[in-house]
């Protein structure tokens, strides 16, 4: 039987309420965006994963680009290549050098040369994900990007994994196919599976499978009593199934979802990670591993134009597609 620590669990719903308010205040150009000093000063992802700037870029520019010549394998390849670095600037740099990226233009030596040159001037990997895995078969290579790209070539392309993903019967099967690759652990396999599922290549319910990441596990440990025989994934599903119950209990009934789209398991999981972060300040006595928030909030002047997978059927509900970044007060996104 799952049991929550109610005095702590309320912060999960507090985060969701306050972080989503920031999005809607930004959408309607209302300032200040938030009265919460922690959310104002530190970096937190959105309640909905697909709202974050990098995910938005992935969906609009990498998956649903204007180039209609990409086949299904190309789309999956493009998603994976983008997500390995998870950095818009790296992707745009490669596109500038290679043209539209596809399996046909994937020249390993050329790309490695370009990235080695770039990494000496600026980071090529995002710091959003910890990507520290190693594998002995790639120890002969010097740089991190060389090892990852060699893995893509030998294990994904030569191993026919993209073809297997195209034929997969479930989101969990996609996860398992990815999880068997070098460097791709539990968390990244799940994240990449969700990214693939944004495309039209596969189409599974995001509520059909979930995998708790390290940050989410910390948040769950803070919010729940010892789970016993239950898993961290059970705790995520429990939260989704009882979402409205706890919203009412804690007084957060004014929550407005994403243009009619309810939170999916990936979003529920994600918010446990962010709850862990906010609790480091709100409840510092709850020390589980990390004890401080590592990333402070840094404004950006780049506008963001909202676009979601067309199969979600919410793009037509967006009456203000581009959110302006005109002032410091309006840049929290």
Asked whether residue 107 carries a pLDDT value surpassing 90, the answer given is yes
Cβ neighbours around 241 below 10 Å, total = 10
Q: Could you give the CA distance from residue 83 to residue 199 in angstroms, rounded to a whole number?
A: 14
Mean pLDDT to the nearest integer, 154-181: 98
Q: How many CB atoms lie within 10 A of CB 118?
A: 17
Cα three-residue angle 150-85-119, rounded to 5 degrees: 85
C-alpha angle 4-7-9 in degrees, rounded to nearest 5: 50
pLDDT at 129 over 70: no
pLDDT for 290 beyond 60:
no
Q: Does the domain formed by 65-197 have CATH 1.10.340? A: yes
Q: What is the mean pLDDT of residues 35-44?
A: 94
pLDDT greater than 80 at residue 333: no
Q: Which of the four pLDDT bands, split at 50, 70 and 90, describes residue 149?
A: very high
Residue 276 pLDDT greater than 80, yes or no: yes
Say how far apart CA 235 and CA 7 lie, in whole Å: 17
167 pLDDT band (50/70/90 cuts)?
very high
Q: What is the mean pLDDT of residues 85-107?
A: 96
pLDDT band at 132 (very low <50, low <70, confident <90, very high): low
323 forms beta bridges with 304
Q: Per the structure block, which two tokens stand in for 168?
A: 């997969």
> Does the model's pTM come out above 0.85?
yes
Q: How far apart are CA 243 and CA 187, in angstroms?
A: 24
* All residues at 6 or more sequence positions from 258 whose CB lies less than 8 Å from its CB, including other chains: 47, 48, 50, 51, 314
Residues 51, 22: contact at Cβ < 8 Å? no
Within a 10 A sphere around the Cβ of 314, how many other Cβ atoms? 18
Q: How far apart are CA 305 and CA 197, in angstroms?
A: 21
* The pLDDT of residue 210 is above 90: yes
Paired with 305 in beta bridges are: 322
Q: Judge whether residue 67 has pLDDT over 90.
A: no
pLDDT of residue 127: 82
pLDDT computed for residue 306 by the predictor: 96
Predicted confidence (pLDDT) at residue 214 exceeds the cutoff of 80: yes
Task: Provide the pLDDT for residue 106.
Answer: 95
Predicted confidence band at 134 (pLDDT cuts at 50, 70, 90)? low
Q: What's residue 133's pLDDT?
A: 58
What is the model's pLDDT at position 291?
55
d(CA 187, CA 200): 22
Whole-angstrom distance, CA of residue 203 vs CA of residue 194:
10
Average the pLDDT over 167-174 and give the result.
98
Residue 125: pLDDT band with limits 50, 70, 90: very high
- Tell me, what's the pLDDT at 304? 82
The rounded mean pLDDT for the chain is 92
User: pLDDT per residue over 223-264, tens digit each?
Assistant: 999 999 999 999 999 999 999 999 999 999 999 999 999 999
Does position 178 have pLDDT exceeding 60, yes or no? yes
**Whether residue 326 has pLDDT greater than 60:** no
Residue 327: pLDDT band with limits 50, 70, 90:
very low
- Kindly list the domain boundaries of the chain, sorted by start residue: 1-52+203-210+231-333, 65-197
């Amino acid at each position: 039987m799952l049991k929550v620590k109610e005095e702590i669990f309320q912060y999960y719903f507090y985060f969701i309420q306050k972080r989503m308010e920031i999005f809607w205040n930004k959408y309607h150009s209302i300032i200040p965006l938030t009265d919460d000093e922690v959310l104002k000063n530190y970096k937190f992802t959105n309640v909905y994963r697909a709202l974050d700037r990098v995910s938005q870029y992935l969906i609009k520019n990498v998956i649903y680009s204007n180039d209609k010549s990409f086949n299904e394998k190309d789309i999956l390849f493009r998603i994976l290549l983008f997500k390995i670095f998870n950095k818009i600037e790296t992707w745009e740099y490669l596109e500038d050098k290679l043209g539209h990226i596809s399996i046909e233009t994937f020249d390993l030596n050329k790309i490695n040369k370009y990235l080695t040159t770039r990494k000496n001037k600026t980071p090529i990997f995002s710091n959003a994900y910890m990507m520290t895995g190693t594998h002995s078969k790639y120890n002969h290579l010097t740089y991190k990007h060389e090892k990852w790209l060699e893995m893509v070539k030998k294990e994904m392309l030569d191993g026919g994994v993209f073809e297997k993903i195209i034929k997969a019967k479930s989101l969990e099967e996609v996860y398992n196919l990815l999880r068997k690759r070098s460097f791709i652990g539990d968390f990244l396999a799940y994240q990449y599976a969700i990214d693939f599922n944004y495309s039209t290549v596969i189409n599974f319910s995001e509520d059909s499978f979930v995998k708790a990441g390290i940050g989410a596990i910390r948040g769950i440990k803070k919010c729940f009593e010892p789970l016993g025989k239950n898993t961290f994934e059970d705790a995520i599903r429990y939260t989704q199934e009882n979402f409205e119950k706890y919203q009412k209990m804690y007084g957060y009934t004014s929550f407005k979802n994403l243009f009619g789209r309810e939170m999916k398991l990936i979003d529920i999981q994600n918010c446990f990670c962010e709850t862990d972060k906010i609790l480091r300040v709100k409840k510092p006595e709850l020390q589980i591993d990390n004890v401080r928030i590592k990333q402070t909030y840094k404004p950006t002047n780049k506008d963001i134009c909202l676009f979601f997978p067309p199969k979600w059927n919410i793009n037509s509900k967006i009456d203000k597609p581009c959110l302006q970044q005109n002032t410091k007060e309006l840049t929290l996104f």
